[in-house]
Amino acid sequence: MKVLKFGGTSVGSPDRIRHVADLVLERGRNIVVLSAMSGTTNSLVEISEYLYKGNIPGAQETLNALEAKYDAVVDALLTTVGGRAEALKAIERSWEMIRTYFERADRRKPFTEVQEKEILAQGELISTALMFAHLRERGIRVAMLPALSFMRTFDSGEPDMAYIREKLSILIEQQPEAELFLTQGFICRDSSGKVANLQRGGSDYTASIIGAVLDLDEIQIWTDIDGMHNNDPRFVEGTRPVSRLHFEEAAELAYFGAKILHPNCVLPAKLHNIPVRLLNTMQPEAPGTIICNTAPDGTIKAIAAKDGITAIKIKSGRMLLAYGFLHKVFETFENHRTSIDMIATSEVGVTVTVDNEARLAAIVDELKAFGTVSVDHDMVILCIVGDLEWHNAGYEARAVAALGDIPIRMISYGGSNYNISVLVRKEDKVEALRRLSASLFS
Ligand code: ASP
Ligand code: MG
């Protein structure tokens, strides 16, 4: 058995829902995880924002538009009176639930985070209700596995794997006749049983958790790209999907804007050794990318870039032969809840990068107590990923040589066996990506 997750665009219209149904029906008795139809979670966030501000007409208008959209989807997708009635009943329940919060807000009761989470959960409840009704119209014995009955997190937000395994196994065993299982991505309950979620984009995480707890054969993430490409196709011509990646390599790439895979998604799958396959809904026969714990050695797999990076250098004579200097520097960032990405050190200085300038002024101010501080804005991290264990000589040299006369602000190598990170100016990014592709992949 496998778990197949389809994102918001994959189920973004009645045609695409039908197409996903065709796809899953050809693939046997599996578990299908769906996101909300594209745009829906954003609309639900918008409704919540209006409610926080007490702007009920704003919330009403957004909900009315959403309701009209779904009326049209039901009309176009479902063909039987029974099917339409079944789907509409489920969907109406969602709208009614949201409207009770309008009334409360009318009575000037404050809108809370708990209520917001309940509102955000409706997108996945609706998309799965639609798919369920559609499959039933096609005569399929589909069983719903309600995520709110088995997906649970601890207070830390970590999934309660033992609980999920137990509940989910029971739900599946109770439905031996089912030809296909369907469940909601993203939504869960917290440790006290309140509706919660796995953060935006969390449906990948749902799939990974399900694959891990049930020890399934494969976790498939279906999107509209044919796998993880070896460079950014927006800037470099002739990029190719990487056929096989190590989990560690995928984790390195996830931070660097390889947005087709949610970073958290990697962990349960990796720990339980379940391969993750990235596939394209529009090109189902394309091999995509498989991510697993074994991947070919001695090759560079992919290059990615992350924009909006700021480098902060702290230079101090006090760093020479002293201990505790780096601790003070890092603590400053920690106090401002700003995470550090790259680091380079010398005997008398250290440069770190951050991708968030919200607290920069205060951080720089405090760092001045420890040394002379300078800041470079508008930088880009280039990340070269592959089998870069230090005994594999020559790759570092090729990467740096490929950059030629492009000024390099800093380099980080050896932090893991899987990457080299290079910091360059924003204006050099595209040329750098092209040169790296030309040198490392041709
Ligand atoms: N619907 C949720 C979101 O838009 C979860 C997901 O799509 O993965 O963030
Ligand atoms: Mg996604």
124-147 pLDDT, tens per residue? 999 999 999 999 999 999 999 999
pTM for this predicted structure:
0.87
User: H/E/C letters for each residue in 352-387?
Assistant: EEECCCCCHHHHHHHHCCCCEEEEEEEEEEEEEEEC
Does residue 271 lie in a domain region?
Answer: no
Q: 74 and 210 share a domain?
A: yes
pLDDT for residue 263 is more than 70: no
Q: What would the mean pLDDT of 279-299 be, rounded to a whole number?
A: 90
Percent of the chain with pLDDT over 70: 98
CATH of the domain at 380: 3.30.2130.10
Ligand 1 probe mutation, 46, 186, 204, 262, most atoms within 8 A of CB: 186
pLDDT at 120: 98
Does residue 261 lie in a domain region?
Answer: no
pLDDT for residue 257 is more than 70: no
Q: 213 and 337 share a domain?
A: no
Does residue 253 lie in a domain region?
Answer: no
Among 129-133, 185-189, 221-225, where is mean pLDDT lowest?
221-225
Q: Which ligand is nearest to the CA of 205?
A: 1
pLDDT at 296: 74
Instruction: Please tell me the distance from the alpha carbon of residue 14 to that of residue 36, in angstroms, as a whole number.
Output: 13
Q: Which atom of ligand 1 is nearest to the CA of 205?
A: 8
Q: 21 and 164 share a domain?
A: yes
Q: Which ligand is nearest to the CA of 40?
A: 1
**35 Cα–ligand 1 center, Å:** 6
Among 176-190, 242-256, 338-352, where is mean pLDDT lowest?
242-256
**276 Cα–ligand 1 center, Å:** 19
Q: What would the mean pLDDT of 196-224 be, rounded to a whole number?
A: 95
Does residue 219 lie in a domain region?
Answer: yes
**185 Cα–ligand 1 center, Å:** 8
pLDDT for residue 189 is more than 90: yes
**Using 50, 70 and 90 to split pLDDT, how confident is the model at 318?**
confident
Q: 317 and 404 share a domain?
A: yes
Q: 69 and 203 share a domain?
A: yes
Q: 177 and 316 share a domain?
A: no
**36 Cα–ligand 1 center, Å:** 6
pLDDT at 262: 67
Q: Which ligand is nearest to the CA of 147?
A: 1
pLDDT at 225: 85
pLDDT for residue 98 is more than 90: yes
- SS3 state at 396: helix
Express each pLDDT in 324-383 by its tens digit: 889 999 999 999 999 999 999 998 899 999 999 999 999 999 999 999 999 999 999 999
Nearest to 156 by CA among 188, 191, 118, 201: 191
Q: Which atom of ligand 1 is nearest to the CA of 202?
A: 8
Does residue 274 lie in a domain region?
Answer: no
**140 Cα–ligand 2 center, Å:** 27
Does residue 280 lie in a domain region?
Answer: no
Indicate the average pLDDT of the chain.
94
User: Dihedrals φ, ψ of 382, to 5°?
Assistant: -100, 130
- SS3 state at 322: coil
Percent of the chain with pLDDT over 90: 83
pLDDT for residue 50 is more than 60: yes
Q: Which atom of ligand 1 is nearest to the CA of 36?
A: 1
pLDDT for residue 106 is more than 80: no
The secondary structure element, H or E, covering residue 421 is strand 419-425
pLDDT for residue 396 is more than 60: yes
Number of domains in the chain: 2
Q: 33 and 169 share a domain?
A: yes
**Binding pocket residue ranges, ligand 1, CB within 6 Å:** 7-8, 35-36, 41, 123, 185-186, 200-203
Q: 202 and 347 share a domain?
A: no
Does residue 263 lie in a domain region?
Answer: no
Instruction: Please tell me the distance from the alpha carbon of residue 434 to that of residue 237, in angstroms, as a whole number.
Output: 8
Q: 196 and 323 share a domain?
A: no
Q: Final residue of a domain: which of 224, 245, 268?
A: 224
Q: 421 and 316 share a domain?
A: yes
Q: 219 and 355 share a domain?
A: no
Q: Which atom of ligand 1 is nearest to the CA of 186?
A: 5
pLDDT at 373: 97
pLDDT for residue 259 is more than 60: no
Q: 219 and 358 share a domain?
A: no
pLDDT at 322: 75
Q: Which atom of ligand 1 is nearest to the CA of 198?
A: 5
pLDDT at 258: 61
CATH of the domain at 108: 3.40.1160.10
| Positive/negative CA dihedral, 442, 280, 179, 19 | negative
pLDDT at 128: 98
Does residue 259 lie in a domain region?
Answer: no
Q: Final residue of a domain: which of 182, 208, 224?
A: 224
Give the contacts of 1 (CB within 8 A, at least 6 positions apart): 29, 30, 31, 214, 216, 217
Which range of residues forms the domain containing residue 400? 301-441
Q: Final residue of a domain: which of 172, 200, 224?
A: 224
**21 Cα–ligand 2 center, Å:** 19
Q: Which ligand is nearest to the CA of 260?
A: 2
Better-predicted residue by pLDDT, 256 or 348: 348
Q: What would the mean pLDDT of 277-301 be, rounded to a whole number?
A: 90
